[in-house]
Amino acid sequence: MIEEENTETIPGKDYHIDRLNNEEALKIMLQNHLKAFKSVKVALNSIELSVNKIVSLLSNNIKSKIVYVGAGTSGRIAVQDGVELYPTFGWPLKRVKFIIAGGKKALTKSIEGAEDLKGKNIYEIVKNKIKPYDVVIGIAASGSTTFTIEVIKFANQIGAMTIGISNNKNTELEKHSNIPIILNTGTEIVAGSTRLKAGTAQKICLNLISTLVMTRLGKVKKGMMNNMIPTNKKLFLREELINSLLHAKNKGT
């Protein structure tokens, strides 16, 4: 029986980039990243279900917020997605939160042991950050990150909606999430380095979810950001252009 590939599987010798010249290595790495796109395509049904549930929850409760949870690379990708909701869509800052293993310091520096926290330590971190009317999105490439799983379990206990995004099948994160999203990217070119195609798949997945959620909540009109928050000259000019185009289109309809 052939064991199924996962994020920790060591690649075959033909894919050992340390033995290839630059051109060959780059081509193989790029080809490998195509699996990220394919893994998201396979998971579109789960992604659509997530969008529908999130939109319903956020529409029906003005206190509901999106809570991103993760550790390491997955946590950083989660933050990258969430911090853009305010400037791009005008989504209130108080309605998006982050629970990252190791806290803010972990965004720029590895905090050893933070992803292994559980029990009382987890409770102290999340007790005032998650409410029953929130949606909690946990991201863990391996699907076995203790920190992320423990936060998801806590969220379940208080009645929040939980979504788990992982890159391996049959994991604890999948088991404990209300809506599991499996991005089965398989072997990495550098075994276990999920900053590669596993991370790419996570970024695509979160991008699809958050963009369509914001669109369904009325933050996109005629393919434009109608609720953006301008913070510099470029964005002020963009806002003026968007407003003029929307006004012109509305006047003509």
Q: What is the DSSP string of 112-149?
A: TTGGG--THHHHHHHTTT--TT-EEEEE-SSS--HHHH
Q: 63: which strand partners?
A: none
Q: Which residues pair with 182 in a beta bridge?
A: 166
In 3D space, the residue among 79, 122, 86 whose CA is nearest the CA of residue 104 turns out to be 79
Q: Which positions are annotated as active-site residues? A: 84, 115
Alpha helices in the chain (DSSP H): 22-42, 44-60, 72-82, 85-89, 120-126, 146-158, 172-176, 197-214, 233-252
Assigned token pair, 78: 């989660």
- Per DSSP, 95 falls in state G
Distance, CA of 239 to CA of 18 (rounded, Å): 48
The candidate with the shortest Cα–Cα distance to 46, out of 172, 171, 156, 162, is: 162
